[in-house]
């Protein structure tokens, strides 16, 4: 099959030869460096994406992605806001709810918590992780409460036990002075989501907390908006008019710093691991530079046979690009194998993280393609200087004493 002469000679130079052992050694390590760089970078990005996905699933599914205050809105404005929100495809659910900072007390301990009270149902992540108790009793009976396994252990309570719930922000005046609103709640549900919110979040029904907060009109309750992807909150808000956006609280105000820290850590890790690519690229540059010096006689002969400067340059560009492409393909295959078997590999070498839990992994083939493409582009850039030096070889000077 016909091949362009530059491609034919460039691929021939790419093969390991006995006469240039050191150059072949450096070339081999440039391929290995690119392969290891792709494997390490893709593995770290997959694990970081897994952690971020876990945070989104465990934490953001338990809090409102958008929260709109409704007390100061006219009934018509409230209905219009709900209609406009339901019309957006990113919105998955709209619920009315109350929340308040509270103090819960048992015979064993006392804790400050955030008490959330949706009118319709608890967040899906809580419902899916109920260990003990009945969700029906939480809404069919007054003053029932859902508590996490962590807080149940801390307060030493179980299903059927009572907790005294105190709301410091709501109080009444009595002959004995100002007394905060308080009530005995019965533990109806114990759940465990595994997120940080288990440490300080409780749930009850909207009607129970409404009575404790002494709110008469249920229509004044804020609405919580859950999105199919919490990171679309800004897009949803941009489609509302300025008046509708008044009194809105975004999840980023309470949890945004955590996700920003995760994103920053991902970028820093990617940057540090990207230095492996730089080492591999410098290996390609150095091996090609030595190859040019070693092959000066052959380059001069090729020029006397009719190859022009651009064809000579393409020979060494193809050789360096060959190393980059081969290293990238090996790295891509190795990266996929490592990521899919990461937890098995860790177990085989005796590393057990988070007790018996496994590292969360999210495989993104688009990220892998970007990494491979970046490696190939950097390999190509590394060939430009040696190719330029090869094209500048003067046959008369090189062949003078041959």
Q: Residue for token digits 């029932």? A: 144
Calpha distance 350→273 (Å, rounded): 24
Neighbour tally for 189: CB within 10 Å: 24
How far apart are alpha carbons 95 and 122 in whole angstroms? 10
- Token output for 359: 């590292």
Per-residue pLDDT, 212: 86
SS3 content of the chain, % helix, strand, coil (to 5): 55, 20, 25
Given a contact cutoff of 8 angstroms between Cβ atoms, the answer to whether 40 and 330 are in contact is: no
In this predicted structure, what is the pLDDT of residue 251? 79
Burial class, 231, CB count within 10 angstroms (exposed 0-12 / middle 13-18 / buried 19+): middle
Cα(255)–Cα(262) distance, rounded to whole angstroms? 11
pLDDT < 70 positions in the chain: 1-3, 5-7, 10-26, 174-177, 351-357, 395-402
Looking at residue 334, what is its pLDDT? Answer: 92
Per-residue pLDDT at 333: 93
What pTM was estimated for this model as a whole? 0.69
Q: Give the Cα-Cα-Cα angle 81, 84, 85 (nearest 5 degrees).
A: 85
What distance in Å separates the CA atoms of residue 358 and residue 277, rounded to the nearest whole number?
29
Q: Where are the domains of the chain?
A: 5-56+259-398, 66-250
- Quote the pLDDT of residue 402: 58
CB-based contact 33:287 (threshold 8 Å): no
Q: Distance (Å, rounded) from C-alpha 145 to C-alpha 159? A: 9
DSSP category for residue 213: T
DSSP conformational letter for 392: T
């Amino acid at each position: 099959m016909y091949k362009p002469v530059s491609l034919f000679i460039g691929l021939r130079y790419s093969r390991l030869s006995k006469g240039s052992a050191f150059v072949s050694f450096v070339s081999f390590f440039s391929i290995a460096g690119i392969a290891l760089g792709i494997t390490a970078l893709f593995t770290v990005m997959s694990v970081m994406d897994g952690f971020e996905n876990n945070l989104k699933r465990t934490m953001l599914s338990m809090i409102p992605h958008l929260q709109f205050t409704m007390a100061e809105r006219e009934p018509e404005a409230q209905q219009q806001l709900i209609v406009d929100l339901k019309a957006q495809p990113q919105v998955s659910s709209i619920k009315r709810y109350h929340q308040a900072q509270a103090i819960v007390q048992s015979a064993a301990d006392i804790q400050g918590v955030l008490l959330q009270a949706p009118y319709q149902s608890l967040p899906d992540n809580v419902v899916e992780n109920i260990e003990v108790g009945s969700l029906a009793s939480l809404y069919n009976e007054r003053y029932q409460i859902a508590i996490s396994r962590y807080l149940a252990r801390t307060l030493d309570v179980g299903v059927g036990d009572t907790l005294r719930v105190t709301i410091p922000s709501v109080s009444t005046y009595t002959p004995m002075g100002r007394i905060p609103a308080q009530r005995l709640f019965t533990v109806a549900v114990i759940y465990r989501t595994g997120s940080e919110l288990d440490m300080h979040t409780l749930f009850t029904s909207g009607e129970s907390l409404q009575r404790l907060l002494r709110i008469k009109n249920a229509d004044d309750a804020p609405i919580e908006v859950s999105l199919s992807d919490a990171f679309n909150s800004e897009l949803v808000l941009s489609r509302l008019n300025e008046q509708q956006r008044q009194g809105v609280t975004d999840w980023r105000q309470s949890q945004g710093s955590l996700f920003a820290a995760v994103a920053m850590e991902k970028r820093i890790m990617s940057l540090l691991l990207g230095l492996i690519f730089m080492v591999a690229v410098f290996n390609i540059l150095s091996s090609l530079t030595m190859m040019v010096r070693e092959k000066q006689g052959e380059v001069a002969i090729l020029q006397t046979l009719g190859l022009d400067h651009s064809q000579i340059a393409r020979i060494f560009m193809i050789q360096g690009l060959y190393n980059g492409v081969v290293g990238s393909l090996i790295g891509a295959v190795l990266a996929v194998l490592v990521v899919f078997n990461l937890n098995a590999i860790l177990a085989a070498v005796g590393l057990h993280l988070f007790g018996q839990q496994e590292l969360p992994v999210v495989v993104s083939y688009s990220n892998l393609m970007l990494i491979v493409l970046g490696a190939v582009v950097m390999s190509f850039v590394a060939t430009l200087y040696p190719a330029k030096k090869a094209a500048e070889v003067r046959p008369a000077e090189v062949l003078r004493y041959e």
